[in-house]
Every structure is written in structure tokens, then in C-alpha cells.
Amino acid sequence: MALNCGIVGLPNVGKSTIFSAVTSAPAEAANYPFCTIDPNVGIVSVPDARLDRIVSLIPPKKVVPATVEFVDIAGLVKGASQGEGLGNRFLASIREVGVIAHVVRCFDNPDIIHVNNRIDPASDIETINIELALADLETVEKRYDKVTRLGRVDKEVQKENAVLIPILERLKEALSEGNSARSVLKEEDEIKAVYDLHLITMKPVIYVCNVDEDAIGQENDYVRTVREIAEKENSQVVVICGKIESEIAALESEEDRREFLEAAGLEESGLNNLIRCAYSTLGLRTFFTAGSDEDRAWTFHEGDKAPRCAGIIHTDFEKGFIRAEVYNCNDLFEYGSELKVKEAGKLRLEGKEYVVQDGDIMHFRFNV
């Protein structure tokens, strides 16, 4: 899975506004379709209160947060799978991301054009999902035609086809009805069998409800509609007011941002929730290193063992891995210092088979 999140949706739903706010980097935004043609890319720090607490207890010279990449992909329209609205170009960009953040317009504003001239989240979601399914259908049909043709003359291919063809047939049926590949393929061996197709509808989806200021702190009917759809798909939902988030992002100091949030009755930026949700949905987790020189959050895949995590810091750490000194950040928060963590017997020595846990604070011993 690619380690990035692609922001998609119909034109004029607020994708570029949200991207600009989440990355604090200007993306072209205008009140007409297709103002975004080439994808904008931004690297975003992952908000993590644990790192802030570690810094307060182990003050460093430098602090480095974890990051995740966001990609702003231009608006899709009905017919994109047949190339409408520069569709092929946009669909190619979506194939390259690991998670899809599907922005859905959940506000009324006659001054902002809607591509279909009406606000209907269910219809908007269906339009995007059908186009993505049709794009995948074309990919699956090409593979199906190829393997059936080769299977007539190659016995090795015939053996592979005994497993592959039934999977492709199920995919063809589902995708032709506008359903996603992930709704069909649940078993790991089936997913691996068609992994090289890079199907768009196998990617996990986060629905991002873009609301107006009046809907902050409460849910309107549009948001409730999106939640019902997401629940059926087992997808996440994040509610954001793109207008307010862009205003927050434009403020220069952290103090100004906090004051703005308090005035708006918000505990934190809605974008922080989106960033953390994307990070988690990508299967990413965080371990920390802490010391007087640097406190740092490191990104790893859930299930990674200690040597692989050591290699994230430097390849020599993985090659020469001996063991890791480990305790969890919650132990630090409870006891207040590394010394007291050690005195409490919470610091452990772990070997090559240790599966690193989210929130671990680690020091690696190695020899090269």
C-alpha cells in the first residue's frame, strides 16, 4: 500500500480548500470545475499529544513529528471512466495513493456552484463510486481476457486460472453493478491474487463531510446521510468545515489558532482528526526515540518487528541489530522520568522477534 492519502470528490466540494488547510500550502481553488488538473502533494505533520508530553518530560534540542503525505486530486465527474473531464488522468493519480479521502459537500450555498446544480450527498457519493468501479471493471476485464486466452495454450496458466478466474468473475459482476472490489474480496489470498491490478475500489475510504459554520458541533441531514452510507461500507467519517479550517491555517501563531478554536467552540482543528484518521487507516503506527538531542516520532507498519523498526532509523541498525531497550510512553507519563521508569522495572530488553507496539519508546543496540 502506498503511504499517502488522496483527496477526491466532485468538482467544487471543497477538496482544494481542505488540502490547502491541511498542508498549509496553497492549492489552486476557484468557483468552477477542474481548477485542479495536476495533483498537488503536501507532507503533513501528524498531530500527536504523546510527543508533546514526551518533550515536556525529556526536553530535547530538536523535535521531529511523524508525517503523512496528502495528494489533492482534481474533481471527478460522471463519465470519468470514459475520459470525461480529463478523467483518465485523474483516475491514474488515484491508483497511486494508499487511502482515499472522499470529500462530500454537506452544506447549502447558492454562491458556490455544484456540478449537478443540487446538493445530494448520496448521489455525489454514488457518482464517484460508480466511476471508480467502472474504471476497475475495465482493468479486470482486460486481465480476464488475457488469462483465458493464454490458458488455452499454457498448462501452467491453466493451473493458475483455476484460482484466478473465479475471483475475476466475481469482481466483474460486482464492479458492473457499481459495487467496490473490497466488498467482494475479504480473504487475504484472494486479495494477493489480484494485487498487481492495483484496483482503486480495493483502497480504504474516509468520507470527509465538508459542512458550513452552522453545522459545527451538530450534524445536519447531509452528514447523517453520509454516515449511513459509510456504516454500510465499514468506512470512517470525518466532519470538517473547510472554510473555518482554511481561516485557522492562515493564522501565523499557535496561540492565535488556539484562540480561534476556543472562540469557535472547538477543542481542536477538525483537520487534526482527518490527518490521524488517514495515518491510522494506512496501517501506520508510531514509536518514539527520546533524548537530550532529539525527541522524534517514527512511522512504522503495524506488525513490524524490532529489527525492521531499527532499519527505519538507519539501515545499519537493522543489519547489526542486537536488541532494543523498550518501554511505552504511558509508563513515562505515569512515572514522570526515564529513571523512575527503570526503577519501576518497566524498561525491557527485547530481541529480534519483538513486535513493536504503538507508543513504544525505543533505544536500539547494534553492531556493524
**Residue 210 pLDDT more than 70?**
yes
Of the two residues 76 and 305, the one the predictor is more confident about is 305
**Residue 33 pLDDT more than 60?**
no
What is the rounded CA–CA span in Å between residue 108 and residue 112? Answer: 9
Q: Output the pLDDT for position 288.
A: 98
Q: Output the pLDDT for position 157.
A: 67
Answer whether 284's CB lies under 8 Å from 65's CB.
no
Architecture label for domain 303-366: Roll (3.10)
Of the two residues 37 and 344, the one the predictor is more confident about is 344
Q: Output the pLDDT for position 235.
A: 94
What is the rounded CA–CA span in Å between residue 206 and residue 204? Answer: 7
Q: Output the pLDDT for position 34.
A: 36
What value does the mean pLDDT take over residues 187-213? 91
Strand pairing report for 62-64 and 40-45: unpaired
In this structure, which topology does domain 4-281 adopt according to CATH? Rossmann fold (3.40.50)
What value does the mean pLDDT take over residues 233-258? 87
- Amino acid identity, position 43: I
Q: Output the pLDDT for position 79.
A: 52
pLDDT band (50, 70, 90) for residue 329:
very high
Most confident range, picked from 138-152, 255-269, 346-360: 346-360
Place of cell 482543528: 269
Tell me the pTM.
Answer: 0.83
Range name among 39-43, 150-154, 331-335 with the lowest pLDDT average: 150-154
pLDDT in tens, 256-275: 888 888 887 778 888 888 99
pLDDT band (50, 70, 90) for residue 113:
low
**Residue 144 pLDDT more than 80?**
yes
**Residue 303 pLDDT more than 80?**
yes
What value does the mean pLDDT take over residues 241-248? 87
Mean pLDDT (the chain) is 85
Domain-wise residue ranges, the chain = 4-281, 303-366
What value does the mean pLDDT take over residues 203-212? 93
Q: List 7's β-bridge partners, or say none.
A: 72, 101
Q: Output the pLDDT for position 74.
A: 65
Query: What share of the chain in percent tops pLDDT 70?
Result: 87
Kindly state the cell numbers that stand for 256. 492565535
